[in-house]
Structure 1
Amino acid sequence: MKFLLITLIAERDAHRPARERLREVVANAVLAEELGFDGFGVGERHERPFFSSSPPVVLSHIAARTERIRLFTAVTTLSLLDPVRAFEDYSTLDNLSDGRLELIIGKGNGAAQAKLFHVTAEDQWDRNRESYELFRRLWREPKVTWEGRFRPSLTDAETWPRPLQQPIRVWHGSATSRESVDLAARFGDPLFSANVTNPIEPYAELIRHYRERWAHYGHDPADALVGAGSAGFYVARTSQEAIETYRPIYDARLALFRQVGVEPVFPTLEDAIERSSILVGSPQQIIDKVHRYHAEFGHEVMHLHADGDGLTDKQHRQTLELFQSEVAPVLRREIPSRPFPTISPLGGPS
């Protein structure tokens, strides 16, 4: 199994300078590489309280500070973006990172960002599909002639710079949508299940649907690739220590949900540990829980939260170190995963 750290760069403190939060994200990515994580992802949101409106800029800075770790978008909201401009940004990043980029795409969510980009609930799926189809061609073809609904047509259009990876691997992020699942299966792309808000069942059902559609489109079932998220993370030497440390963090999350009028799905930390994808406990408890989810999902990649979420810097580093020393080696050994793409010394995929 492979492990990513992912952040949406949320910031609840309105008085904290954005530069401090953004530099913290870069420092966390450097730490992730130092500790041996496989990837670091930056989400895309265009509304309060997130500072993640420009993932390619943040990831380019991370690329300059790291050498090995894979760089993920989580997710690139193609329903909001001009696919030509998105291609230019990410092709540039692909070159700057020496081919370490992987995209997770999705339609995105949030009323504020939809209003900002004049995207509606009625057209967001069509926009996502059309943008991806064009983005995919732009990445693969030096000249593209194309016509669609949501941006001006192209005639023998050349886009620069040309990317280093050919092709790039694109994951499709999905929380609930069969539209994203079908798009991934149709093009033979991997699926990344959000696996955050609800119990395991709806996510497992969506992944089963992905595998069914994968076979429907004529792909080899053995080639299907799945990743999955987690709703929170803290590992300690004992379960008692983990729960004691994480409880105020979880209670603060519950209070925030209720403040904005959202009734929590898991009203207590104990309920979340039992029924949600949150990973809080001893190393063996985390290992056992990941195995239970893997039995349902068959996933080879999973993400943890990159941010401390209320932990001190010392606690945050210690829990990541403990994960890498006592949890990750066991899961890597017991749950095999395919290697990430790499760029050969001659500049092509290997």
Structure 2
Amino acid sequence: MKFLAITLIVHAPDPVTGVLKPTHDRFREVIDNAVFAEEIGFDGFGVGERHERPFISSSPPVVLSHIAALTSRIRLFTAVTTLSLLDPVRAYEDYATLDHLSDGRLDLIIGKGNGTAQRELFQVTPEDQWERNAESYELFRRIWRQDKVTAEPRFRPELTAAEVWPRPYQQPVRVWHGSATSRESVDLAARYGDPLFSANVTNPIEPYAELVRYYRERWTHYGHDSAQAVVGAGTAGYYAARTSQEAIASYRPVFEGQLAFQKRLGLEPVFTTLEDFVERSSALIGSPQQVIDKVHRYHEQFGHSVLHLQADASGLGDARHRASLELFQSDIAPVLRRDIPDPPFPWAPVLAAPRPVDF
């Protein structure tokens, strides 16, 4: 099993202290967390993309490029690239450049994205967002693989023998499809033989497990080898301590602060008590053995081989959060790596063969 640390770069008051860090400090925190994740043995680090409050993750290629310059091994993920909002030509240019700067350590997780404010910012409607997502991905995919592209897309100007530079370092880049609530993204992933990443954050396991089953059904429907279907899954929270009592006591103020923040935003919480959150959500809160057991329970439903944890302290405080991540790497990850297989593809980059260029 492989493990990612992921941040959506939420810029909001600390759920426990109420302190709002300056924007500059919040970005520095993200960079420091990525370097730390590599140091303690995480396989990947992901940066989200949002274009609305309370997020400042509007430019993941820039953030990931900076992380690439400070790291050498960890794979760099987008979580997610909102292709329904983006020009796929411009998105390709950004990510092909990042692919080179990172020496081929880039993985993309794509999705349509959520949120009314960011849809309105880019003039995307609920009626056309899925078509935009599929069209943008199909064009992005062609540009990555072909030196010249001719296409008549619906949502951007047509291309005629268009050359888009730079040509990529990896051939091809691995693209995961982020899945939260809809079958459209699941079907798109299965159609192209791409891995799926289940959000697995907001609700109990059932709706996510149903989508994963649908993905595997569509995978075989499109003629792919069932053994090659790959699923990743998120977690709603993480904190491990030597005893379950210590973990629960330490996490309770964090949960209560997050609950209050959701209510201020006018959101209806799915889990109204910490005990329910620990029991029915995907959050991994408890002793190392409890975390291991819960990942195994989810694996029985998902068959996933990649797992993400939150990179941000989010109320725990940096020292406590980092100690918990170190505990994950020392006591939890080795067991899960032993028990659950890795994805059936190489984690190292697949590099493009040199090609002649006509000038």
Q: TM-score normalized by structure 2?
A: 0.95
Shift of 1:71: 0.1
Hey, what's the Cα distance between the residues in 2 that align with 1:189 and 1:348?
A: 22
Other structure's SS at 1:285 match: helix
Note the alpha carbon deviations across 1:289-318, whole angstroms, 9 max, x for none: 000000000000010000001112110110
Is 1:343 the counterpart of 2:349 in the alignment? yes
Q: Percent identity?
A: 73
Check if 1:64 corresponds to 2:64. no
More off after superposition, 198-207 vs 10-19: 10-19
User: Cα offset for 1:257?
Assistant: 1.3
| In 2: Cα distance, 1:348 partner to 1:152 partner | 30
Structure 1 residue 168: Cα displacement: 0.8
**2: CA distance between counterparts of 1:137 and 1:187?**
12
Deviation, 1:263, is 1.8
Runs ≥4 residues deviating over 2 A:
13-17, 338-341, 346-349
CA distance in 2 between counterparts of 1:68 and 1:336 reads 20
1:136 equivalenced with 2:141 (yes/no): yes
Distance in 2, matches of 1:224 and 1:295, equals 15
Q: Tell me which residue corresponds to 2:59.
A: 54
Partner of 2:170: 165
Contact residue 147 and residue 163 of structure 2 kept, 8 A:
yes
- Supply the distance in 1 between the matched residues of 2:194 and 2:3 (Cα, whole angstroms): 19
Alignment match, 2:219: 214
Q: Which amino acid aligns with 1:77?
A: T
Q: CA deviation at 1:348?
A: 5.8
**For the Cα contact (< 8 Å) 2:50–2:56, is it kept in 1?**
yes
- 2:110 is the counterpart of 1:105: yes
- Corresponding letter in the other structure for 1:140: R
Task: Give the aligned partner of residue 357 of structure 2.
Answer: none
Match of 2:204 in 1: 199
Q: How does 1:108-119 map to 2 (within 5 A)?
A: 108-119=113-124
CA displacement, residues 200-237 of structure 1 (integer Å, 9 cap, x when unaligned): 01000000000000000000101100000000000000
How far residue 343 of structure 1 moved from its aligned partner, in angstroms, is 3.5
Matches within 5 A, 1:144-183: 144-183=149-188
Partner of 2:132: 127
Separation in 2, partners of 1:263, 1:316? 27
- Residue pairs, 1:83-98, within 5 angstroms: 83-98=88-103
The 3-state SS of whatever aligns with 2:197 is: strand
* Alignment check: 8 A CA contact 1:165 1:348 kept: no
What is the aligned counterpart of 1:268 among 273, 283, 291? 273
Distance (Å, rounded) in 1 between the aligned partners of 2:102 and 2:264: 41
Do structure 1's residue 310 and structure 2's residue 333 form an aligned pair?
Answer: no
Report the aligned-residue RMSD: 1.3
Q: Counterpart of 2:103 in structure 1: which amino acid?
A: D
Aligned to 2:291: 286
- Could you say what secondary structure the match of 1:262 adopts? coil
- Structure 2 residue identity aligned to 1:26: I
The change in CA–CA distance for 1:214 and 1:201 in structure 2 (over 3 A counts) is: same
Distance in 2 of aligned mates of 1:171 and 1:44: 15
Asked if 1:19 corresponds to 2:24, the answer is yes
**Partner amino acid for 1:4?**
L
In structure 2, distance between residues paired with 1:304 and 1:273: 15
Secondary structure, counterpart of 1:145 in structure 2: strand
Match of 1:299 among 300, 304, 316: 304
CA distance in 2, matches of 1:330, 1:51: 35
CA deviations 1:10-69 (Å, max 9, x no partner) are 011496321111111010000000000000000000011111000000000000000000
SS in structure 1 of the partner of residue 307 of structure 2:
strand
Structure 2 CA distance, aligned partners of 1:337 and 1:311? 30
Which residue of 2 is the match for residue 187 of structure 1?
A: 192
Q: Aligned equivalents of 1:273 and 1:291: distance in 2?
A: 15
Q: Which runs of 5+ in 1 are unaligned?
A: none
Count of matched residue pairs: 348
- Give unpaired runs (5+ residues) of structure 2: 14-18, 355-359
> Which whole-Å CA distance do the structure 1 matches of 2:42 and 2:353 have between them?
24
In the alignment, is the contact (CA less than 8 A) between 2:168 and 2:352 conserved in 1?
A: no
The separation in 2 between residues aligned to 1:308 and 1:260, in whole angstroms, is: 21
Taking the aligned partners of 1:256 and 1:312, their CA distance within structure 2 comes to: 18
State the match for 2:258 in structure 1. 253
User: SS state of the match for residue 33, structure 1?
Assistant: helix
Once residues 142 and 265 of structure 2 are traced to their aligned partners in structure 1, the CA distance between those partners, rounded to angstroms, is: 41
